[in-house]
Structure 1
Amino acid sequence: MKRHQVTIIDIAKELNISKSTVSRALHGHQDINEQTKKKVLELASRLDYQPNLLATSLVMSKSYTVGMVVPEFLTPFFPSVIMGAQEVMSKAGYNVMICQSNESYEMEVANTKALLASRVDGILASVTRETRNFDHFQALHRKGIPVVFFNRVCEELEVSKVIVDDYEGAFMAVEHLITTGRKRIAHLAGPDSLIISRRRLKGYIDALQKHILPVEEDLIIQYDLTPEKATIYVKHLLDLPNPPDALFAINDPTAIAAMLVIKDKGLRIPQDIAVVGFSNDPASALIEPGLTTVAQPVFDIGREAAYLFLEQVDIDLEEYKPQTKVLQTKLIVRGSSIPHAV
């Protein structure tokens, strides 16, 4: 007699829970209740459940390869996210194919087409600063290929996303500057095309308004995130008739570029001007003085994006309800905002 191959459906029926819950438990998802996870794993072991990768690959045309599309490798942020995703995907038996768009919309479109041609089972993506049209991701979604956005996300698609609380992180950073006595706080913001830029700008504005400080348009500069432009705009701010006494930057590379310009001008940090960044780049602890920054759980961003993909891979996408995971940030105070801070 031919032996029955135990499936996720069998385990779900036996425990009277959803296939999605079983799949997440088998993949070790952090959101699953420990007791439920234990029941699933014990039953899977007792029934000798084995994921039949070959059969699934033949029947469902699965490649056990996931694509990751990131906008740049200039900073440690995206490589760290990739490492977090790879940690989860490799344990689940998946390979990760990585594409870098170099902040180019056209390259991003070409990357998604190349990954589609490579028959990936899904795509984890963070969009470029140029991306305003999302038809290439819509096309993947229509073909039934799971798409999970992280960090720089698209709100137009009903797909899962992983973000940090950019608004709260920015609010916390600016309020910190205000509580240290700063009253003219400039903001070097990212391009308006990115949701993270808009949310951090909103946090900056709301913190000022909470403390009844004016929102001055000449102290807010949105730019394309290139180091050359950061240098130009910091010099512009410092040359104002009434220059700022603090700067909140969209990210740590911008903040570090600003600190170099400030030092070159012969100004003291933080006595003459305080600086706060966003992301806790490794270099933020190495520069002198250390950069006060908003830390993001970078590895967890990658891990959560991978988990959200795995939740979808063993079920019909029509049954799947997209989720948005919002991870929390933490303010790390160093010498760039308070003298002698650790």
Structure 2
Amino acid sequence: MKYKYEEVIEQIINWAITGKYKPNEKIPTEYELMSLFKVSRHTVRKAISDLESQQYIYTIQGSGTYLSDWKQNNLYLKKTKNVGVLTTHISNYIFPDIIKGIESTLYDESFSLLLSSTNNNLMLENSNLRNLLAHKIDGLILEPTKSAYQIHNLEYLNSMISQNVPIIMINATYSAIKTPSLCIDDFTGGKIATEYLLSLGHKNIMGIFKVDDSQGIHRMNGFITKCLEKEIPPSSEILTYLSEEVETILPQRIKYALKSKKRPTGIFCYNDEIAYMVLNIAHDLKLKIPEDLSIIGFDDSPISKIMEPKLTSMTHPKEKMGRDAAKLIIKLINNGNHFEESDSILYEPELIIRNSTKPH
């Protein structure tokens, strides 16, 4: 996901590294560069301007553009550093904001981004890690796939570690890999959301949780802990699901629960997408939100603000997490992958109260 002018810059630098053009040797003209890279004149001029400002090249009026004498100018000749970013998703839900934070920070520091996703599929994680290894990346920002399970692709991650490639994890961790992480305090978030439903007088509450990701396990444990603290047995009111069941089994199970004679009056959902699903099913069943059913989501995603009624939800830092992850991976790349426990961040979630909840 490089800008076109960055590709031009990288290639011209690579010409010098490989000796294709020697110091003080003339490089192709603007027109030739446009044809070679299939880019606009504006893109070529941007690349030339940046290279000239950094003294990698110089221009002689009426003659052309030449490579500088690198050694004489004491310039450190190096390729652009590449950071791999592997998340479970890219284009939907909260992930565009996370990636926006990563991308903008990396580009500000002249790092390139290699972006891919796993769709929360272990085989796709396997192939993407293999691909990133082949590209010889300088660092990796990884969102673990099915993080509640035992790690399946340990060999690839260990291979990166053996090559001193820094790895940091976002949203979840693999316990078998000792590396910094940036995560939400999902357990505390689960407790806060459940406490709020109980404070509104809801006694018959249900939790819906994805259990192949550790985030779902932690949020469920927070739900259970708060119910037990209030002496409300939650065991019969927990609905769990796997990633593959979101569009198949899960909607039918939610519908069954909402049609039950003992249907819940309040539901805490794994995330805002599931909360939106609950809301639509409730509408189909002629249940009013929040009069008949209060709903809480998690992540304070864009969905939460466009739902009707707008969704009460736990916060997720999203773009800030992306920026923090990019800053940390740059730091580790520059300092030889030396990290401390204090490099990890555990973000405290907050409850954003909107119109999907009310007293029972």
TM-score (norm 1): 0.77
Q: Distance in 2 between matches of 1:156 and 1:257?
A: 34
Alpha-carbon shift at residue 86 of structure 1 (Å): 1.2
Which string of whole-angstrom CA distances, capped at 9 and with x for unpartnered residues, describes residues 136-191 of structure 1?
A: 32222222111110013212211010001111111111111001110111111012
- Of structures 1 and 2, the one with the larger relative CO (CA 8 A, separation 6+) is 1
Q: Verify the 8 A CA contact 2:313 2:353 in the aligned structure 1.
A: yes
Structure 2 residue corresponding to 1:171, chosen from 186, 191, 201: 191
Q: Equivalent residue for 2:232?
A: 213
SS at structure 2 position matched to 1:307: helix
Alpha-carbon shift at residue 70 of structure 1 (Å): 1.0
Q: Equivalent residue for 1:224?
A: 242
Alpha-carbon shift at residue 251 of structure 1 (Å): 0.4
SS at structure 1 position matched to 2:208: strand
Alpha-carbon shift at residue 53 of structure 1 (Å): 12
Q: Distance in 1 between matches of 2:205 and 2:74?
A: 56
Which string of whole-angstrom CA distances, capped at 9 and with x for unpartnered residues, describes residues 264-289 of structure 1?
A: 00111112111100011112111111
SS at structure 2 position matched to 1:167: helix
Moved more, 247-256 or 124-133: 124-133
Q: Verify the 8 A CA contact 2:80 2:110 in the aligned structure 1.
A: no
Which string of whole-angstrom CA distances, capped at 9 and with x for unpartnered residues, describes residues 294-313 of structure 1?
A: 11111111111112212211
Q: Equivalent residue for 2:135?
A: 118
Structure 1 residue corresponding to 2:98, chosen from 69, 72, 81: 81
SS at structure 2 position matched to 1:110: helix
Q: Verify the 8 A CA contact 1:227 1:257 in the aligned structure 2.
A: no
Sequence identity (%): 23
Q: Equivalent residue for 1:160?
A: 180
Q: Distance in 1 between matches of 2:222 and 2:129?
A: 33
One-letter code of the match for 1:300?
Answer: K
One-letter code of the match for 2:233?
Answer: P
Superposition map of 1:45-64 within 5 A: 55=76, 57=78, 63-64=80-81
One-letter code of the match for 1:82?
Answer: I
Q: Distance in 1 between matches of 2:223 and 2:92?
A: 24
SS at structure 1 position matched to 2:76: helix
Q: Verify the 8 A CA contact 1:63 1:121 in the aligned structure 2.
A: no
Q: Equivalent residue for 2:113?
A: 96
Q: Distance in 1 between matches of 2:265 and 2:108?
A: 49
Q: Verify the 8 A CA contact 2:90 2:116 in the aligned structure 1.
A: no
Q: Verify the 8 A CA contact 2:165 2:333 in the aligned structure 1.
A: no
Q: 1:115 to 1:56 in 2, by over 3 A?
A: farther
Structure 1: gaps of 5 or more residues: 1-51
Alpha-carbon shift at residue 119 of structure 1 (Å): 1.6
Q: Equivalent residue for 2:269?
A: 249
Alpha-carbon shift at residue 63 of structure 1 (Å): 4.3
Q: Equivalent residue for 1:335?
A: 355
Q: Verify the 8 A CA contact 2:270 2:298 in the aligned structure 1.
A: yes
Alpha-carbon shift at residue 206 of structure 1 (Å): 1.3
Q: Distance in 2 between matches of 1:54 and 1:82?
A: 32
| 1:291 maps to 2:311 | yes
TM-score (norm 2): 0.74
Q: Verify the 8 A CA contact 1:230 1:254 in the aligned structure 2.
A: no
Q: How many residues align?
A: 281
Q: 1:74 to 1:205 in 2, by over 3 A?
A: farther
Q: CA RMSD in A?
A: 2.0
One-letter code of the match for 2:179?
Answer: V
Which string of whole-angstrom CA distances, capped at 9 and with x for unpartnered residues, describes residues 103-136 of structure 1?
A: 2111111111111111211110112237632413
Q: Which has the larger radius of gyration?
A: 2
Alpha-carbon shift at residue 72 of structure 1 (Å): 1.6
Q: Verify the 8 A CA contact 2:209 2:269 in the aligned structure 1.
A: yes
Structure 2: gaps of 5 or more residues: 1-72
Structure 2 residue corresponding to 1:320, chosen from 339, 343, 350: 339
Which string of whole-angstrom CA distances, capped at 9 and with x for unpartnered residues, describes residues 239-286 of structure 1?
A: 334111111100000000010001100111112111100011112111
Alpha-carbon shift at residue 229 of structure 1 (Å): 3.3
SS at structure 2 position matched to 1:227: coil
One-letter code of the match for 1:79?
Answer: P
Q: Verify the 8 A CA contact 2:190 2:219 in the aligned structure 1.
A: yes
Moved more, 73-82 or 242-251: 73-82
